[in-house]
Amino acid sequence: MAIRFDSKSKTFTMHTSKSTYQIKIDDQNVLLHTYFGSRTDESDFSYRIVPDDHGFCSQPAENAWDRTYSLDFYPQEYSVHGNGDFRIKALRAGLSDGVPALDLRYDSHRITDGKYGLPGLPAFFAGKDDSVQTLEIILKDLYEEVYVSLLYGVFEEKNIITRAAIIENRGENPLKIRRAMSMELDFMDGEKELISFPGKHTGERQFDRRTLHHGITEISSTRGTSSHQQNPVVIICDKGTTESYGACCAISLLYSGSFQIQAEMDQFDSVRIVCGINDDEFRWILAKGESFATPETVISYTDNGFSDLTNGLQDAMWSNLIRSVWKNRKRPTLVNNWEATYFNFTGEKLLQIASQAAEIGLDMLVLDDGWFGKRDDDNSGLGDWGVNEKKLGCTLKELVDQVNRLGLKFGIWIEPEMISEDSDLYREHPEWAMVIPGRDPIRGRNQLILDLSRAEVIEYMKQAIDRLLSIAHIEYIKWDMNRSVDNVFSAANPHLSQGAVRHKYVLGLYDVMEHVVTNYPEILIEGCSGGGGRYDAGMLYYVPQIWCSDNTDAIERLRIHYGTSFGYPMSTVSAHVSVCPNHQNGRTTPFKTRGICAMQGSFGYELDLGKMTEEEMEEAREQIALYNKHYELFQRGDYYRLTSPMDNHDFTAWSYVLPDGSKASLSVVYTDLHANPKPLRVKWKGLVKDGVYDLDGKEYTGTALMQGGIVLPKPQCNYDSYMAVIERIK
């Protein structure tokens, strides 16, 4: 049993394979958080909380005279605003606008087999794992008919706990919610470091590590998407934790809109973390009988450092979050025409690229932006999803049929959430764009955003996608979203409810995506938002892969892939070989290095194949064959970051190892050159210690490769690279 309730000590203890989590109902019926860390027993850990008469720490109702009891320093499970706790809170709501106050106390609980669901929101599922359990603790306000259910999904084997909260108003008066976090975690002991993944367009998810100090640290997005600038994943760890040693905990939010993760070190050096929808422009009014569900968060803990933490999380996402049938199938290697042609293509040009793709052994052509409406640049056409047959010189069906005849599948780009002012859709339905009436709108890439809080817009979008998918044999969609959400106003919502629009937008998006996933389960969908601007665990419930960055430079991708690997399975990373000098930063790298780097994820090309030299064509053939041969290793292998591109300036190395240790790869990209160089060595990880492996015809034990490592060949040119695949022979 993963979840136990001890009625004597009134503790809930949840166990996963590597961690224990404990909650206690105290004498005041307040829910306290007593333990989260290394797997332990079911002792009542509330002895760790030390009551004391600390000055300026007030007492909650019913406990007014015991000055040693204060929610200002007690570790809680789900803190509320207005109850004598002056730290960051999980919930801020009340019956009147100015004085939001609740006082939540334990009401009841349920422990059930299986995993709770969150209708309309992405959530982990139990699948075939019948050991998964759900704990639901129901809290009630002392004064009002307001209930809060705290939900916990315990995946013992996968070492994850999921959390969400549902707020319900059973009273007569509307409840105004100002903030509703998905979870709170109170660590009694401080001295923590926080790792987050900030970035920018074409430079997403860079690794950033800091020591927490007193005060609030915030990782958040107000852009209506999870964003390029921050990412809804953090790792909180003990000081000094490394890849293979130390206590660390990952927290990931399954949400694709504005999010907020805050960590506060308080006056007694305890650390509180909360995570959920960003409260910045958030307001939600609950009428009698209504409820509000927060998005889900997933947490995972290990004592064994980052490799163990992230391999566990990646594996859980693979098996219990990603739904696409494509996670278990070999995904097509592809050529995408974006960097090959941008908007400037014809059907003939596309077919030329397709026939070259077939020649080198690729599986699919993806037609990017520019095939619809009036769309020869990025200033017009969004919303008009009719095919521009004049530009293609044929119907879409004719084009796709010809591509199929070449032996290739066909994929297509769409950006359904957007509308250009220069489009028929806008001329017909200007009220469908989210703009503030009477004000010139804020534009991004010269486009506006469709109001997905409106049922008729959701319906239009579903129909537009259905229509497109019915006219040709489309097997893949690249689903893009190319601006931040700002200046939000929905003409369909009353003025007072505009604070709900951003979240309703995300719910509308999930509704449309659910429609596509349910009705076209065979279609492979690639998520995208100007590259990795919406790379979050919420998206992975709908799409098995995401275009990782608009930056295709192999060297900058090293850091992007490195950061991404802390939060997401590498099989979700889309990566392509592009032309040099690179279109984003002008750098020239060897073709071989571009291939090795792109093989870290779902592999493809994004260049004019017709302009490749014979030598490059041959190299591409070899790359594709190599990728296909070791596909299972790259998709399902454990991923080891062997060096950090942030710290090691000579080379970056990573490896994949099949879970049974029977096969492993090593990839190295040299990032600097030196005269009179020192020897470079790198140590493998995750191999079978007493197994024997064949490397270039020589035998090595797993221990030797992991403890002694190997000596890398000397780089022969700028940004040279090296790759080896070893198999266990004994």
Q: What is the binding site for ligand GLA (CB under 6 A)?
A: 338, 368-369, 378, 413, 480, 482, 528, 530-531, 547, 550
CB of 545 to ligand GLA, least distance (A): 13
Return the number of the residue (229 or 241) whose C-beta is nearest ligand GLA.
229
In the complex, what is the shortest distance from the CB of residue 549 to ligand GLA, in angstroms, rounded to a whole number? Answer: 8
Q: Secondary structure of the chain: what % helix, strand, coil (to 5)?
A: 20, 30, 45
Give the nearest distance from C-beta 379 to ligand GLA in angstroms. 11
HEC sequence for 546-584: EECECCCCHHHHHHHHHHHCCCCCHHHEEEEEECCCCCC
Considering the complex, state which of residue 197 and residue 338 has its C-beta at the smaller distance from ligand GLA.
338
Bridge partner list, 104: 141
Judged by beta carbon, residue 207 or residue 413, the one nearer ligand GLA is 413
CB of 610 to ligand GLA, least distance (A): 20
- Amino acid symbol at 476: Y
Element (H, E) at 469: helix 455-471
- CA dist 78 to 23, 32, 182, 264, 451, Å? 11, 8, 9, 15, 33
Catalytic positions, please? 536, 616
Minimum gap (Å) between residue 514 Cβ and ligand GLA: 23
Least gap, CB of 388 to ligand GLA (angstroms): 15
In the bound state with ligand GLA, the residue whose beta carbon lies nearer, of 103 and 550, is 550
Q: Is 597 helix (H, G, I), strand (E, B) or coil?
A: helix
Pairing mode, if any, of strands 638-641 and 698-701? unpaired
For the CB of residue 95, give the shortest distance to ligand GLA in the complex, in Å.
45
Residue nearer to ligand GLA on the CB measure, 36 or 547: 547
Quickly tell me which residue has 């990025």 as its tokens: 378
Pairing of strands 364-367, 409-414: parallel
Closest-approach residue to ligand GLA (CB): 369
Q: What are phi and psi of 192, to 5 degrees?
A: -115, 155
Tell me whether residue 186 or residue 480 sits nearer to ligand GLA (CB atom): 480
Shortest spacing between CB 550 and ligand GLA, in angstroms:
5
Joined together, the tokens standing for residue 25 give: 């109902």
CA 189 to chain centre: 28
CB nearer to ligand GLA: pick between 276 and 531:
531
Give residues with Cβ within 8 angstroms of 695, minimum separation 6. 705, 710, 724, 726
Burial tier of 239 (Cβ tally within 10 Å: 0-12, 13-18, 19+) = exposed
CA atoms within 13 A on the CB side of 178: 15
**Contact at 8 Å (CB) between 8 and 148?**
no
Provide Rg for the chain, Cα atoms: 27
Strands 160-169 and 297-302: antiparallel
Q: How far is the CB of 13 from ligand GLA (least distance, A)?
A: 46
Nearer to ligand GLA, 311 or 482 (CB): 482
d(CA 122, CA 721): 39
Cβ distance to ligand GLA smaller for residue 33 or 483: 483
Q: How far apart are CA 185 and CA 36, in angstroms?
A: 8
Strand intervals (E) in 78-190 = 91-94, 104-113, 133-141, 146-155, 160-169, 175-187
